[in-house]
Amino acid sequence: MSPWNQNDQLGLKIQEIKQAIRERKIIEFQYFSNEKLTERRVEPCQIIFKQANWYLYGYCLLRKDFRLFKLRRISGLTITDTSFEPREFSIDRLSWDGESDGDKHLPIVVLFDKSMVYAVNDIFGMDNYEIAPDGRLKVEFQMEISGWLCGFLLGFGDKIEVVEPVELRDRIKSMAESIYKVYEEN
């Protein structure tokens, strides 16, 4: 399985990481997240294809915890000569927001226009929403507030309303106002 825009560089990166996993070698790379570039040393555990993207799951020596790294945000990947003993890990610990760097997950409540039922079923599952009194689809989930989440929610345009938390609602409103200003006629 591969994303539509997969290129040879991504394939080479996957092969290098698989080699490091087999040989139990620490890898080093630069990682771009939260608008900054950081140097990472990681004990790689697994390569995962999820939500149309490739990820590395491994133990980050900088953060001293397991982390999920989107492969497209990794550059300068090198396999070191340093060996490691594999740590026990659980796939259940994975966070799929792609940016999580800690346990800052908050309860989030959104209302989708009923015309979005197909998308809501596809993204959240048929059993993970309820019909609000006004007929909209109410979805509750927990996630870290991130640029990725805001962009994802904004992608639904006027077919979604963020109810909670207020911090996320305000951030979405501010971003929407900024978008409006770009297109506002002078």
Closest by alpha carbon to 40, among 51, 50, 29, 32?
A: 29
For tokens 């197909």, what's the residue? Answer: 118
Domains of the chain, CATH where assigned = 8-93 (2.30.30), 106-183 (3.30.70)
Distances (CA, A) of 57 to 81, 130, 155: 20, 33, 27
Reply yes or no: is the peptide bond before residue 165 cis, omega within 30 of 0.
Answer: yes
Contact 68, 94 (CB under 8 A): yes
Looking at residue 101, its pLDDT comes to: 44
Looking at residue 53, its pLDDT comes to: 76
For tokens 């026990």, what's the residue? Answer: 88
Looking at residue 7, its pLDDT comes to: 52
- For residue 51 the two structure tokens come to 């939500």
Contact 83, 139 (CB under 8 A): no
Which residues in the chain come in under a pLDDT of 50? 1-6, 97-102
Looking at residue 186, its pLDDT comes to: 63
- For residue 59 the two structure tokens come to 């133990």
Looking at residue 91, its pLDDT comes to: 60
CA distance 94 to 69: 11
pLDDT per residue over 122-157, tens digit each? 777 778 889 999 999 999 988 888 887 898 899 999
